[in-house]
Amino acid sequence: MAVRTDASGLRLGKYSLGVGDRFAQQARAQLRACIEAAAAGIEIIPVWNKSNREHNIVGSEPAGVREAAEAAVRELGWKFPFHVDADHIGLQTVDQFLESSDFFTLDVADAIGRAAEPAEVEAFAARHPELCGTIELEGIAEPLTLTREDAMCAAEKYLGAVREAGRIYRHIAERKGTGTFITEVSMDESDAPQTPPELLVILAAISDEGIPAQTIAPKFSGRFNKGVDYVGAPEQFEREFRADVAVIAHAVARFGLPDNLKLSVHTGSDKFSIYPAIRRVLEESGAGVHLKTAGTTWLEELIGLAEAGGEALDLAKEVYRGAYERRSELCGPYAAVIDIDAARLPSPGAVAGWSSEQFAAALRHDPACPDFNPHFRQLLHVGYKIAAEMGSRYLEMLRAAEEPVSRNVTYNLYQRHIRPLFPRTLH
Ligand SMILES: [Zn+2]
């Protein structure tokens, strides 16, 4: 069974940016970054994403994400599409997102390796003889080579996860209607990366399952720690990313998947050292990409508060003190994606004496700045629960410091993310 998406269905544009907004206060500042991009000839579709985990920690509801996005779009007169992403959902968590989201990230990482029936794996291999042998892909010099054993092995590992994605997809489609939402399949929060040949097998299975995926988020090689740069060899990432793009183009043609299917890179914020690689591949292949970078905005809020000085700076320091004291609790849910050396965290007492500039310089993600402290930044990245617990006190301070906060949010998204990563689109 090959999938063909209905041409009238909701389609995600070629370049899209997943922006998170923990406290639903920065939608306008984020949209301004897309407006600046559009003025510079780069058409970016904003997607406001928020995971169930974030909603639980903040104590917010999915409807609030849409309200904030719609208000920003209305106020700033945004003429292009925008979407609201139920990020990293599963069958247990999707229902509360059904009404407000039109983009669903089906997280099936936990189902990877769930034993598939041997008969199922046999049937898959029999249905897909084209997966075995040497597969020439446009855009990469080395062909993929898969033996029947490789294909069976990958099928065994991933069929259960793709089946799970199918169950979630159908659950949503039965309630919202086919073609009314964008589907992403995500496997990024798993232990081992998926290789390009495995991605090909996964896409064949996604087609068999009838999932009209428009984006797919594999786990790439290297570490994607929260809030800080990529840890790994950018050249190796580039080879893998280029091969994945070629695999997707092949799979679209071969398996009839949606023709706008593209990679989704869940960055965990700020993977600056691989942006040039991504951009090169996009330029040479003409492929699109979806970039998710959620937590970066919350850290810009803190930088803006620090810059505002006075009580706002005190509040930013108070957030750090709380995060420092409760670091084991806050780091727990993110253990696999942070790498904090406690010995390199400044004491809250020391931070209490910092100026606006010192706080901002330690936090701002400028790897060339000698005062930048990635440990401080990672801890604050996962420390948003402290701000959430401050409730209206935090939100009121954000509003009082709106100018520096929104200036930092817009600048960060446009200058550090959009400009280095996305090629110009022709109008
Ligand atoms: Zn992710």
- CB-based contact 12:40 (threshold 8 Å): no
How many of the other CB atoms lie within 10 Å of CB of 3? 16
pLDDT greater than 60 at residue 368: yes
Distance CA 65, CA 85 (A): 9
Q: Which of 89, 155, 167 is nearest to 118 (CA)?
A: 155
Per-residue confidence (pLDDT) for residue 426, from 0 to 100: 62
Residue 186 Cα to ligand 1 midpoint, Å, equals 7
Per-residue confidence (pLDDT) for residue 4, from 0 to 100: 54
Residue 174 Cα to ligand 1 midpoint, Å, equals 25
Q: Encoding tokens for residue 412?
A: 């960060």
Overall average pLDDT of the 368-397 stretch: 96
Per-residue confidence (pLDDT) for residue 268, from 0 to 100: 86
Q: Which of 204, 271, 232, 152 is nearest to 240 (CA)?
A: 232
Q: Which of 374, 362, 237, 230 is nearest to 307 (CA)?
A: 362
Residue 189 Cα to ligand 1 midpoint, Å, equals 6
pLDDT tens readout for residues 313-356: 999 999 999 999 999 999 988 888 899 999 999 999 999 999 99
Distance CA 333, CA 329 (A): 8
pLDDT tens readout for residues 152-196: 999 999 999 999 999 999 999 999 999 999 999 999 988 899 999
Residue 21 Cα to ligand 1 midpoint, Å, equals 15
Overall average pLDDT of the 146-152 stretch: 93
Backbone angles phi, psi at 182, to 5 degrees: -100, 135
For residue 404, with 0-12 CB atoms within 10 Å meaning exposed, 13-18 middle and 19 or more buried, which class applies?
buried
Residue 19 Cα to ligand 1 midpoint, Å, equals 12
**Tokens 């420092």 sit at which residue?**
324
Distance CA 217, CA 165 (A): 13
For residue 1, name the pLDDT band (cuts at 50, 70, 90): very low
Q: Which of 128, 119, 209 is nearest to 168 (CA)?
A: 209
Residue 307 Cα to ligand 1 midpoint, Å, equals 30
Residue 85 Cα to ligand 1 midpoint, Å, equals 12
Residue 105 Cα to ligand 1 midpoint, Å, equals 9
pLDDT greater than 60 at residue 81: yes
Mean pLDDT, rounded, of the chain:
95
DSSP string covering 360-424 = HHHHS--TTSTT--HHHHHHHHT-HHHHHHHTHHHHHHHHHTHHHHHHHHHHIIIIIIIHHHPPP
Distance CA 65, CA 21 (A): 8
Residue 188 Cα to ligand 1 midpoint, Å, equals 5
Residue 47 Cα to ligand 1 midpoint, Å, equals 14
Delineate the domains of the chain, giving CATH numbers in brackets: 15-294 (3.20.20.70), 300-408 (no CATH)
- CB-based contact 242:274 (threshold 8 Å): no
Distance CA 57, CA 385 (A): 6
pLDDT tens readout for residues 219-236: 999 999 999 999 999 999
What sign does the CA torsion over 418, 421, 424, 425 have? negative
Per-residue confidence (pLDDT) for residue 335, from 0 to 100: 84
Residue 129 Cα to ligand 1 midpoint, Å, equals 32
pLDDT greater than 80 at residue 139: yes
What sign does the CA torsion over 295, 300, 306, 309 have? negative
Residue 108 Cα to ligand 1 midpoint, Å, equals 11
Residue 94 Cα to ligand 1 midpoint, Å, equals 16
Overall average pLDDT of the 60-85 stretch: 97
Residue 271 Cα to ligand 1 midpoint, Å, equals 13
- CB-based contact 322:394 (threshold 8 Å): no
Residue 152 Cα to ligand 1 midpoint, Å, equals 27
